[in-house]
Amino acid sequence: MDPRNFWNDRFNEEELVYGEAPNIWMKTCLDARTPGRILFPAEGQGRNAIYAARLGWDVEAFDFSAVAQQRALAQSAMQQVHIRYAVQSIQEFTVKDHHYDAIGLSYVHLPEMVRIPFYDKLIRSLKAGGELFMEAFTRTQLAYSSGGPRTEDLLYSTESVKRELSALEAIYLLETDLLLQEGEYHKGPAHVIRYIGRKI
């Protein structure tokens, strides 16, 4: 199945597929910082973007699924917050030099040939002192059934994160086990990476 059709079908399910609450790591990072301008790529149904907007962040988000955008904007309207949400692919993302105070990547799993140039665009789009927050599945996640890709190339390790995001100062990097409770598709024991990188 075409990836866009797959995600449109998933995001069209009646329930919010990853729940309404923000990702715990994204929430932790957002709660500890003064609101500014933030970007959420591949944001799905908008749970992190909406939470950030409730805290007073100036929020931009995008996803290649038009269904995701529709669900996110409907949710934001229900919660009476404003987010700007575009329909575009990772490859279509255009650099905004020195524009964002923060960027949040919540389970954005991409092949290396897409990931590396995308990271470069994100880093260029951060202001000096801006931060990239990320939570993603590690390769160890292949042993679990709680979610995530089944292809090793789409998964992470501390070594790959250090290498691919070496232009940022890694101020937090940890592989950890946790119990996911994020809707039907992120549920159960999992192994993830949590990362914060700062642009110098």
pLDDT in tens, 85-136: 999 999 999 999 999 999 999 999 999 999 999 999 999 999 999 999 999 9
Count up the domains in the chain and report the number.
1
Confidence check: pLDDT of 171 > 90: yes
CA 67 to the chain's CA centroid: 17
At 197 the three-state DSSP class reads strand
SS3 content of the chain, % helix, strand, coil (to 5): 35, 30, 35
Higher pLDDT, 135 or 9: 135
Counting DSSP H helices and E strands in the chain, the numbers are 6, 7
Confidence check: pLDDT of 1 > 60: no
The residue behind tokens 């932790």 is 28
pLDDT in tens, 11-59: 666 676 666 789 999 999 999 999 999 999 999 989 999 999 999 999 9
Supply the CATH number for residue 161's domain: 3.40.50.150
Q: pTM higher than 0.75 for the full model?
A: yes
Residue 20's pLDDT is what?
Answer: 79
Phi-psi region of 147 (alpha: psi -120 to 50; beta: other; left: phi over 0): left
Are 40 and 52 contacting, i.e. CB atoms less than 8 angstroms apart?
A: yes
57: nearest Cα among 24, 84, 75: 84
Of 9-13, 123-127, 158-162, 163-167, the least confident: 9-13
The domain in which residue 50 lies consists of 3-198
